[in-house]
Structures are given as structure tokens and as C-alpha cells.
Amino acid sequence: MLYTRKGDQGTTKVFGCEERFSKASPLPEALGTLDELNSYLGLCRARVHADTSKGLMVGTKKRTLESIVHDVQEALFIIQAEVAGADKRIDKKKVIGLETITDTIEGIIPPLHSFSIAGGTYLSALFDVARTLARKTERRVVAVHEGGIRPITPHTLAYLNRLSSLLFALARYANYVAEVPEEAPTY
């Protein structure tokens, strides 16, 4: 059954906790934004899959953008489990992995000299929206941590912080490989 009726009064519960609490409280808000970001990354991955020419060398391995996004989605499930109270954690290796991919992309694309207007290619625009969702997700998870609702490990917090940088790099990379110039705001 896809419904239980238990949340009809606006309450929910999470892993390891029998107590019901408001769906509007910080914990379900953080879990919901993690789900929202992961779902949106599914849209990004579907678009990347439709354009399979996007790939890059990360260290000695050729990585497709589809595999990079999939790995991020897997990590978000780990983070969601941690936030819900399960014994799952992001390790330092995953944070370094995001940094390595971001650094690789930064070594390929031209340096950024100003803010840029989101868009260019469809894929770039998708990654830009994902970046904003990642920032929102990070804020919600930090609120859970700082509010004493759940302790969140330093590597998880670092991963969420690096994720928006990776998504920005992917947005810029999508425009770069499509030879679509970035547009600076005119203010």
C-alpha cells in the first residue's frame, strides 16, 4: 500500500523514533529538500544521458557526467539516511571525490571573472537549478544540526557545501563543451 493515513493530521515520524512530530518542523524539511534535490538530479542525469558526448578525464579515469551525477544521487541517499537517524555516514573520500571532479572541470573551462546569468544550454540551466537546490538543502541540514535535532558529521556538512560548487562547475562545463559563451549581468 502506498499510503498509510498516519500523516493525515500533519505529523510524521522518522527512522529510530516512534514519536510523531509536525511535518513542518526542521527534520522533515531537511529530508524533503534532500529528496527534492535528488529527484531534480534525476532530471539532470536523464538530460545528460540523452546527450552522451559529455565526459571528462578525472585523474586517470574517464568519467561520464551521467556517472558523476549518479554517484551524487547515491551519496544523497546516505545523507538522507544519516539525517533520518540511521547509522550511515559520508566519508572524507566522497568529499575529496567532489573536489577532484570540480578541480578537473575548473582546469578545463576558462576562469570566471564575474557572476554569470544562468542558462546557455538546457543542461547548464538544469545544473544551475540543481545548484540552488543544493544550497537550500545544505541550509536545511545545517538547521537540523545547529538546532540539536540530529548531529550531522563534518564530512556530510563538507560534502553538501562542495556539492553546490560541483553543480556550478557542471553548469559551466555544459556551456563550455557546447561552445555557448557565458553571459555576465550588466547591472
Give me the DSSP letters along 81-136. Answer: HHHHT-S----HHHHHHHHHHHHHHHHHSPPP-S---S-SSHHHHHHHHHHHHHHH
* 3-state SS assignment for residue 75: helix
Nine cell digits for residue 38? 535528488
- Asked if the structure places residue 64 within a domain, the reply is yes
**Phi/psi at 8 (nearest 5 deg)?**
-65, -20
Nine cell digits for residue 89? 555516514
Encode pLDDT of 79-124 as tens digits: 999 999 999 999 999 999 999 999 999 999 999 888 889 989 999 9
pLDDT classification of 5: cutoffs 50, 70, 90: confident
Encode pLDDT of 31-73 as tens digits: 999 999 999 999 999 999 776 666 788 888 889 999 999 999 9
Give the span between the Cα atoms of 121 and 148, in whole angstroms: 41
User: Total domain count for the chain?
Assistant: 1
- Asked if the structure places residue 46 within a domain, the reply is yes
- Asked if the structure places residue 4 within a domain, the reply is no
Give the span between the Cα atoms of 145 and 123, in whole angstroms: 33
CATH of the domain at 82: 1.20.1200.10
Angle between the N-to-C axes of helices 65-84 and 154-177, in degrees from 0 to 180, rounded to the nearest 10: 160
- Asked if the structure places residue 16 within a domain, the reply is no
Q: Are 140 and 26 in contact (CB under 8 A)?
A: yes
- Asked if the structure places residue 88 within a domain, the reply is yes
Instruction: For residue 144, give its domain range.
Output: 27-177
- Asked if the structure places residue 19 within a domain, the reply is no
Q: Give the model's pLDDT for residue 33.
A: 98
Instruction: Map grid coordinates 560548487 to a residue.
Output: 165
pTM (two decimals): 0.92
Region 153-172: mean pLDDT is 98
